Amino acid sequence: MRKLYFLLLFVIPLLVLHVPAAGQDISRPELAVPKVSPSDIVIDGVMDEAVWDQAAEVNLITATGFNIWASSYGRDIAEPEYDELYGRILWTDDSLYIFLHVDEFVDDSTDLYWGGRFVSDQDTFGHWAGDQLFVGLSNRLGVESWNNWEGNPLAAPDGPYHLMIMGDRVTLNDGFPVWVPELEAALIFDTAEFLRSAATWDKETGVWNVEIAVHNPNVKEKASVGFNMGGSFGSTAARESSGDAYGYYTWLPHVPDEPFTDPGDLGWCASYIQQNSEYWALLNFVTSPTGIHGADKNVIPETFALMQNYPNPFNPTTTIRFVVNDQSPLTLKVYDMLGKEVSVLINNRVFSPGTYSVSFNGTSLSSGIYFYQLITDNFMETRKMILMK
């Protein structure tokens, strides 16, 4: 049975996404990505390690709504045909851990289907006819566009490039040759040189999981890397009828809860994962979950409390401390003077009793007065802070 989604904007930490008019600067979403030890994760296509609970979240489709720009490709559908579509991200020195989850509808018109070399080495076109996942990475966000659809593999691992994923095949252009004009030659690029991966799937339920450890020389504390996620949705029926997938999508840019809406007369959604990094998010690498630091956990406080941020005024970062006295779900949000939500630092997360701190970065915001609010089932407190640039 297909799910009815309630239209609720899902906001990630420090995400201020808008599509500017011509000539304006683009504000990139930012995600705080926690560090883990390589021994914490086994690359097996199953997200069963406890450290994934603290991962940065990229939610394209969940029960709370849509954060996706998709094309129906001329097909008469009301929404992309997924129950869930999301990514999770962690890091260790020089490597990203990425977990991708797909839960696709399965019926007479759609299912999990992969073509290309997943089917046959001779199927040189089929990778465009089925389900794909794309992961875009870049250390060079100054390079905003490139003139090929094959993943820009010559730029890997620094980027910008995108991985093409089908089943358990995590590839650059499905392993087929890519013409390199500078060399006047066609080359095959092997992802085994810089990543490890595993996948699991169940075609009866439409669930597909991919787990990747990918080397990137800029993954280190206090550094950042550009990131986007996208793909295509296809099916056995679409391959037989048209020989092509029937829809493409990207996480960024998008209009929340309007999956088929062009965010700004931009054209083709797939371009912004396959040929352009202009709207890609920044992954900021921190050493604790979502930048949250804990202390004094052996002393159980008498009540919840929200402390004044320090420094205040600040530019562009400040620290917010809060006290937890039981394991109630906790949310910490930031608002502007008009009451508009500008950041969700913590979203309905349970903490052990103790004192914690979280860093807030106002780089993408204008100078002014902001309010931060701590909410639990039985407690709410709001404080004022001043961003002065």
Q: What is the set of domains in the chain, with CATH numbers?
A: 30-285 (2.60.40.1190), 289-387 (2.60.40.1930)
Which pLDDT score is estimated for 30? 80
pLDDT digits (tens, 9 = 90+) for 105-140: 999 889 999 998 888 888 887 888 899 999 999 999
Which pLDDT score is estimated for 167? 96
- State the Cα–Cα distance between residues 76 and 99, nearest whole angstrom: 31
- Residue 325, token pair as written in the block: 């006295």
pLDDT digits (tens, 9 = 90+) for 183-230: 889 999 999 999 999 999 999 999 999 999 999 999 998 899 999 999
**pTM for the model:** 0.71
- State the Cα–Cα distance between residues 330 and 39, nearest whole angstrom: 29
Res. 292 pLDDT band, cuts 50 70 90: low
Which pLDDT score is estimated for 294? 52
Distances (CA, A) of 111 to 79, 131, 149, 329: 15, 9, 25, 36
Res. 366 pLDDT band, cuts 50 70 90: very high
pLDDT digits (tens, 9 = 90+) for 303-345: 889 999 999 999 998 889 888 888 788 999 999 999 999 999 9
Instruction: Reply yes or no on whether the pLDDT at 25 is more than 50.
Output: no
Residue 182, CB-side half-sphere exposure with 13 Å CA sphere? 4
